[in-house]
């Protein structure tokens, strides 16, 4: 027995385009919700869970429907083609709704720096990290730089503090004043956290005020988002089921490694596009994502075109069934009314099924909790380009997928899965110790 790598790779283009979409979705949509619409982390987090909530109902539904579907193109292909087309159109529409909100927010400002000036004049409330509660931007900045409230400053000091706030949009121009009068560069003394603690929440407050004043754009955005998610949910199960449909049982672990490899490739292409278009830049958080989304959708359409052109589902499924019978892996089963009745699972089999489903659910809960917020965390807290850091993770995945498939074939899937879960949990726990640059100990805020 030998795996048909070419066939699995071609089938894998369906998972390739799915992974490309989710990489873009998980990176860009949280940024839109928080930075453009001004939603807080709780509500944006809830919206980012909608795909998983929909998946609970739609993945089993469309998986079952595809099992019963019979067309000249096969059981899975129609769902993959139609679902991708609808998802691409809806995703592009989502970018237009995002642009409409951006235009509304920027109505009174010509660029990022002018926008920061608007925030200053609005005097938004931000969280006082030292004492808790809320404090307005002007007092926050005045206490950090002058150790007193804004109203107690001289006119010249007020101008200086305002200019400092405006220049937060450009770290290269910002200096920080210590209590002893010594000046330091922002990247040296760790005061880049001011951008995270002041500019980001102030901007969010202002954007939310614009959203509340005219919520129509948010409603349209939300409806398009639901349409996009529903379209993606219609063909995820059929796409995942296609590889086992065309691959004999003993080779499915290796086939699954190739499918995951294709998915990682789709994610890397999107991350490279993000680096090229600078979507992960700290100072591009208010950019238009239309160009990025159009590029991602083009990648999806190209992958779909290759899939339609090269994948022959009906023929390949028949060849797999014949080979399974020839090798004695499965007996020939005629499709008659007499043998349509499915065998019931034994008690031990049912228990194993429930435990497998529970483990998958818990694994995805932990994984999605990280991935759906990583772009915001990297850009606003760590002040790093999330594209470059995620590429490292994707590269590690590409290196490991095929060896892991081979290991699973030799040691068993259960042991391999348990090892992977332990490694993932260890990585997530370790990540708690990665924090942004802390302010120097010699600095005092006197809040």
Task: For residue range 74-117, list pLDDT tens digits in order.
Answer: 899 999 999 999 999 999 999 999 999 988 887 755 555 666 67
Q: Are residues 57 and 96 in the same domain?
A: yes
Residues 165 and 100 reside in one and the same domain? no
CA angle 228, 231, 233 (to 5 degrees): 110
Q: According to the model, what pLDDT value does residue 373 have?
A: 78
One domain for residues 152 and 225: no
Helix axes 200-213, 77-105, angle to 10 degrees: 100
Higher model confidence: residue 92 or residue 126? 92
Higher pLDDT, 382 or 358: 358
Kindly provide the b/e burial profile for residues 124-143, where b requires at least 16 CB atoms within 10 angstroms of the residue's own CB. Answer: bbbebeeeeeebbbbbbbbb
Same structural domain for residues 208 and 218?
A: no
The pLDDT of residue 225 is above 70: yes
Mean pLDDT computed over every residue of the chain:
78
Q: What is the pLDDT of residues 362-382, one digit of tens each?
A: 777 777 777 777 777 777 666
Closest CA to 257 of 269, 239, 243, 271: 243
pLDDT of residue 122: 67
CA distance 25 to 21: 6
The whole-number pLDDT of residue 231 equals 94
Output the pLDDT for position 180: 36
Lowest-confidence pick of 42-56, 267-281, 377-391: 377-391
Of the listed ranges 16-30, 149-163, 178-192, the least confidently predicted one is 178-192
Work out the pLDDT band at 210, boundaries 50, 70, 90. Answer: confident
User: Which residues fall within 8 angstroms of residue 4, CB to CB, at 6 or more apart?
Assistant: 247
Q: Are residues 259 and 147 in the same domain?
A: no
Chain mean position to CA 195: 23
Q: Which is more confident, 28 or 358?
A: 28
- Asked if residue 146 and residue 127 are part of one domain, the reply reads yes
Mean pLDDT of 253-278: 88
Give the structural domain span for 130.
112-212
144 and 23, same structural domain? Answer: no
Residues in Cβ contact with 231 at an 8 Å cutoff, skipping those fewer than 6 apart: 83, 84, 86, 87, 90
Is 221 in the same domain as 96?
A: yes
- pLDDT > 70: percent of the chain: 79
Q: Which helix (H) or strand (E) holds 294?
A: helix 290-310
**In this structure, what are the phi and psi dihedrals at residue 176, rounded to the nearest 5 degrees?**
-125, 140
Region of residue 250 (left: phi > 0; alpha: psi -120 to 50; beta: else):
alpha
Residues 52 and 199 in one domain: no
Token digits for 47?
């919206």
280 near 36, Cβ under 8 Å?
Answer: no
Assess if residue 440 is contained within a domain: no
Q: What are the structure tokens assigned to 308, written together?
A: 């339609």
* Contacts of residue 30, Cβ cutoff 8 Å, sequence gap at least 6: 44, 48, 372, 373, 375, 376
188 and 249: one domain?
no
Number of domains in the chain: 2
């Amino acid at each position: 027995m030998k795996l048909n790598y070419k066939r699995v790779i071609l089938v894998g283009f369906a998972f390739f385009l799915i992974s490309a979409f989710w990489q873009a979705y998980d990176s860009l949509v949280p940024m839109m919700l928080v930075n453009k619409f001004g939603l807080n982390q709780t509500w944006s987090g809830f919206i980012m869970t909608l795909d998983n909530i929909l998946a609970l109902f739609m993945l089993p539904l469309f998986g079952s429907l595809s099992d019963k579907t019979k067309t000249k193109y096969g059981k899975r292909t129609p769902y993959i083609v139609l679902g991708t087309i609808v998802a691409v159109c809806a995703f592009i529409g989502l970018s237009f709704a995002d642009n409409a909100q951006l235009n509304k927010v920027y109505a009174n400002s010509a660029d990022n720096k002018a926008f920061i000036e608007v925030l200053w004049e609005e005097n938004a409330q931000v969280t006082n990290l030292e004492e808790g509660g809320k404090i307005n931007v002007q007092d926050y900045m005045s206490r950090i730089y002058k150790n007193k409230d804004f109203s107690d400053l001289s006119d010249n000091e007020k101008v200086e503090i305002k200019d400092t706030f405006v220049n937060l949009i450009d770290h290269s121009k910002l200096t920080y004043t210590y209590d002893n009068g010594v000046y330091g560069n922002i990247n040296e003394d760790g005061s880049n956290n001011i951008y995270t603690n002041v500019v980001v929440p102030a901007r969010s407050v202002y954007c939310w005020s614009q959203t509340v004043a005219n919520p129509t754009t948010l409603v349209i955005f939300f409806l398009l988002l639901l349409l996009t998610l529903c379209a993606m949910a219609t063909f995820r199960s059929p796409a995942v089921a296609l590889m086992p449909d065309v691959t004999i049982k003993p080779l499915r672990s290796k086939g699954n490694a190739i499918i995951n490899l294709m998915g990682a490739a789709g994610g890397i292409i999107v991350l490279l596009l993000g680096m090229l278009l600078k979507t992960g830049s700290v100072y591009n958080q208010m950019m238009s994502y239309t160009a990025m989304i159009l590029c991602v959708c083009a990648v999806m359409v190209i992958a779909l075109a290759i899939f339609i052109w090269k994948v022959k589902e009906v023929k390949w499924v028949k060849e797999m069934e014949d080979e399974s019978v020839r090798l004695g892996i499965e007996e020939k089963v005629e499709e008659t009314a007499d043998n349509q009745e499915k065998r019931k699972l034994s008690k031990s089999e049912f228990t194993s099924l429930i435990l497998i489903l529970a483990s998958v659910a818990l694994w995805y809960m932990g994984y999605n909790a990280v991935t759906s917020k990583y772009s915001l965390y990297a850009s606003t807290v760590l002040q790093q380009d999330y594209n470059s850091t995620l590429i490292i993770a994707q590269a590690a995945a590409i290196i490991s997928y095929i060896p892991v498939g081979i290991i699973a074939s030799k040691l068993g899937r259960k042991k391999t899965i348990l090892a992977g879960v332990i490694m993932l949990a260890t990585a997530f726990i370790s990540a708690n110790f990665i924090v942004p640059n802390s302010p120097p100990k010699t600095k005092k805020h006197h809040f």
